[in-house]
Amino acid sequence: MPRTGLVCMPWHALSRPCLSIGVLRSVCADAGIDPPTGYHGGLRFAEFLLERSAGAITPPDYAAVAEGGFPHALGDWVFADALYGNDFGAVAMRDYASRTNLSLRTASAIREYADEFVDLVVDELLSRELDLLGFSTTFMQNVPSLAVAKRIKQRSPETTVLFGGANCDGPMGIALHREFEFVDLVLRGESDETFPLLLRTLADGDDLAAVPSLCWRDGERRSLTNPSTARLVPPAKLIAPDFDDWFPAFESSTISEHVEPELVVESARGCWWGEHHHCTFCGLNGTSMTFRAKPAERFVAELSDLVARHAVLDVVVVDNILEPRYLRTALPDLAATGWDLRLHYEVKANLTSEQVEVLRSAGVCSVQPGIESLVDDVLARMDKGVRAVHNVRTMRDCESAGLTVEWNWLYGFPGERADDYATVLAQLPALVHLQPPISATRIELNRFSPYFDDPTLGFPVREPAPAYRAVYDIPPERLHDLVYLFATPSRGLRDEQVRPLADAVAAWIRDYRASSLIRAELDGVTVIRDRRVGWPAADYLLETDRERHAWRELEHGRTAAGLQRKLDEQGIDWPAASLTRWLDELRAHGLVFTEGGRWVALATAAAPVPALATVAG
């Protein structure tokens, strides 16, 4: 069996191990192969920067590039000179930065150390005397990995260089193999089964043509690509990662003095919504959209083992979407442990308040519900499968449960009109007590998204994002298949039409922390306490049965007709004209949000308030 190492270069997060290395170590062990050793280049780079710069370049500087650099390929650019030499990309990136008003201060400072770091990595990897080095590459890890791989082959031609990971999915892996001759092998797609097969094939000297999805070279170094298998890893074969090599490396690193460690796990792959309604802008999942969730009891057991083994309670679950059945299985089981977990999950914004409470009880502290917009027309254009009132309901219920909600407001969808935003923007001040978006952002054109795959959907003109010119010394026509981000003429809102949205979001972010709108039940009266910035401090009393019942129905999100029907079913008579006036009154006070003919109550729920006296007016 080849002596194998797996390499995770910058810009992997410093706080967590590389999931793909952890999974590949496990699948090897499962196949009776010694787990490959991991090389944690992100950690190594951060400590190298800290040491070489005498403390001037800190882990937060690393994180700034790692977390914010992707739209501009900054992390790749940092290593572009180490790959190509001659200060490659310096002028091109300066031009790009000047056009886009981008600061290069941190990335430029870090770039000064990249070449020396690549030599260090090569020294350390070669000292391990390995036969095969596998680079796991996602987002901005391509150029850092290529820079190391190139020098490995220069100094040790007999070492086999393998690339894999999300950056090698679909045509990108083929292009990478074609463009970089020093890359011997590229394993595309999920490699849980093909990686052990590749190791055995190499060990036995068998024909590499038998390894599905593999790009390899013949005797004349020509690039050949094996057909991909249609088979995705089945749920029962999704395996728990092995992080036994990362935690000791983290604990012995100076970075552990700056960063808290966390676990990273997967309970499912693919997206059950995307299988049938792929969100038009979403380029996640690449060639593996089919949703596959681990059996709940196995996931709970795996997570429990990892938490106990590494004594770490912070867990990032990288699933694209929560398996709904987990709300009845895995999550209640986790809640029953009584451990002080902190989990992050991506969810669909159609959760009920009871389901949000299940999340909270299980230790889910932050969610990414894919809210994206509060305009029904835009949500329909992205095929999101939820309406604005569903999004607002999810935001409200997460606020009630104390869950952090991460979301961005996306615009720039083909066909969207400024007029569609008008009624919603007028209501945003009423949402100030709910968690605001991180920002309002024009959508990008990403490989694998429906907008990319089908030019008739609105983006017929596209070319590799301009920042890549400062990163790859490759002509645009050949670069097209290698990269993930594309430039395309803007659609939807014109730049000058974005201002009202941007201003409203800025005000929302500014005033959120000082705002509250809470509903409590006091001795048979529903009280809505308004302490929102921009609204008069007031308490609203719903004193009649029909008001209280109607409010409860509005918490679900109803049309006026639907509300009337629900009240009728409960034997409550409320003439339509009068009910409409009441809804309008609620809206005037900012107590409801309405969009697309639906209305949803905005007050968050206080827990039952004990021992309170009679309500006085």
User: Containing H/E element for 268?
Assistant: strand 268-269
Q: Please, which residue, 257 or 477, has the CB nearer to other proteins?
A: 257
User: Under the criterion CB under 8 A, does residue 554 sit at the interface with other proteins?
Assistant: no
Closest CA to 80 of 144, 135, 138, 140: 144
Place of tokens 């007029």: 419
User: Under the criterion CB under 8 A, does residue 366 sit at the interface with other proteins?
Assistant: yes
**CB environment 281-296: b (16+ within 10 A), e (fewer):** bbbbbbebbebbbbeb
174, two tokens: 């083929």
User: Under the criterion CB under 8 A, does residue 582 sit at the interface with other proteins?
Assistant: yes
| Binding region for other proteins (CB under 8 A) out of 102-110, 227-235, 272-280, 540-548 | 540-548
CA distance 440 to 504: 10
Q: Which of 538, 545, 570, 578 binds other proteins (CB under 8 A)?
A: 538
**Could you count the other beta carbons within 10 Å of the beta carbon of residue 57?**
21
Specify burial of residue 258 (Cβ count, 10 A radius: 0-12, 13-18, 19+). middle
| Binding region for other proteins (CB under 8 A) out of 83-91, 196-204, 310-318, 451-459 | 310-318
User: Under the criterion CB under 8 A, does residue 545 sit at the interface with other proteins?
Assistant: no
Q: Please, which residue, 203 or 506, has the CB nearer to other proteins?
A: 506
Place of tokens 């681990």: 294
User: Under the criterion CB under 8 A, does residue 522 sit at the interface with other proteins?
Assistant: yes
Q: With beta carbons less than 8 A apart as the criterion, state whether 435 and 405 touch.
A: yes
- Single-letter amino acid, residue 424: V
- Single-letter amino acid, residue 588: A
DSSP type of residue 94: H
Q: With beta carbons less than 8 A apart as the criterion, state whether 464 and 171 touch.
A: no
Q: Which of 81, 242, 245, 399 binds other proteins (CB under 8 A)?
A: 399
Q: Which of 140, 148, 349, 542 binds other proteins (CB under 8 A)?
A: 542
User: Under the criterion CB under 8 A, does residue 119 sit at the interface with other proteins?
Assistant: no
Helix (H, G, I), strand (E, B) or coil at 603: coil
CB of 582 to other proteins, least distance (A): 7
User: Under the criterion CB under 8 A, does residue 227 sit at the interface with other proteins?
Assistant: no
| Binding region for other proteins (CB under 8 A) out of 216-224, 281-289, 340-348, 492-500 | 340-348
CA distance 485 to 467: 9
- Single-letter amino acid, residue 307: V
CA distance 426 to 228: 51
| Binding region for other proteins (CB under 8 A) out of 99-107, 385-393, 536-544, 554-562 | 536-544
CA distance 371 to 393: 11
Q: Please, which residue, 7 or 542, has the CB nearer to other proteins?
A: 542
Q: Please, which residue, 101 or 614, has the CB nearer to other proteins?
A: 614
182, two tokens: 């020093």
Q: Which of 54, 230, 577, 607 binds other proteins (CB under 8 A)?
A: 607
Q: Which of 304, 446, 490, 580 binds other proteins (CB under 8 A)?
A: 304
CA distance 111 to 117: 10
User: Under the criterion CB under 8 A, does residue 577 sit at the interface with other proteins?
Assistant: no
Q: Per-residue x/- mask for other proteins, residues 407 to 446, rule CB under 8 A?
A: ----------------------------x-----------
| Binding region for other proteins (CB under 8 A) out of 35-43, 124-132, 339-347, 557-565 | 339-347
Q: Which of 108, 228, 408, 516 binds other proteins (CB under 8 A)?
A: 516
Q: Per-residue x/- mask for other proteins, residues 167 to 206, rule CB under 8 A?
A: ----------------------------------------
Own/partner contacts of 359-363, CB < 8 Å, gap of 24 or more, are 359/327, 359/331, 359/401, 359/403, 360/401, 360/402, 360/403, 361/331, 361/332, 361/335, 362/330, 362/331, 362/332, 362/334, 362/335, 363/334, 363/335, 363/339
CA distance 544 to 526: 9
User: Under the criterion CB under 8 A, does residue 615 sit at the interface with other proteins?
Assistant: yes
User: Under the criterion CB under 8 A, does residue 219 sit at the interface with other proteins?
Assistant: no
Closest CA to 39 of 4, 70, 63: 4
User: Under the criterion CB under 8 A, does residue 575 sit at the interface with other proteins?
Assistant: no
| Binding region for other proteins (CB under 8 A) out of 129-137, 267-275, 558-566, 582-590 | 582-590
User: Under the criterion CB under 8 A, does residue 540 sit at the interface with other proteins?
Assistant: yes
Q: With beta carbons less than 8 A apart as the criterion, state whether 445 and 488 touch.
A: yes
User: Under the criterion CB under 8 A, does residue 55 sit at the interface with other proteins?
Assistant: no
| Binding region for other proteins (CB under 8 A) out of 151-159, 302-310, 454-462, 488-496 | 302-310
Beta-bridge mates of residue 463: 487
User: Under the criterion CB under 8 A, does residue 535 sit at the interface with other proteins?
Assistant: no
User: Under the criterion CB under 8 A, does residue 333 sit at the interface with other proteins?
Assistant: no
| Binding region for other proteins (CB under 8 A) out of 98-106, 280-288, 327-335, 336-344 | 336-344
CA distance 610 to 361: 22
Measured in whole angstroms, the distance separating CA 193 from the mean position of its chain's CA atoms is 25
| Binding region for other proteins (CB under 8 A) out of 71-79, 102-110, 255-263, 377-385 | 255-263
CA distance 127 to 119: 12
Total residues contacting other proteins by CB under 8 A comes to: 53
User: Under the criterion CB under 8 A, does residue 612 sit at the interface with other proteins?
Assistant: yes
Binding site for other proteins (CB under 8 A): 256-257, 260, 304, 307-308, 311-313, 337-342, 365-366, 399, 402-404, 435, 516, 518, 520, 522, 527, 529, 536-543, 547, 582, 585-586, 589, 606-617
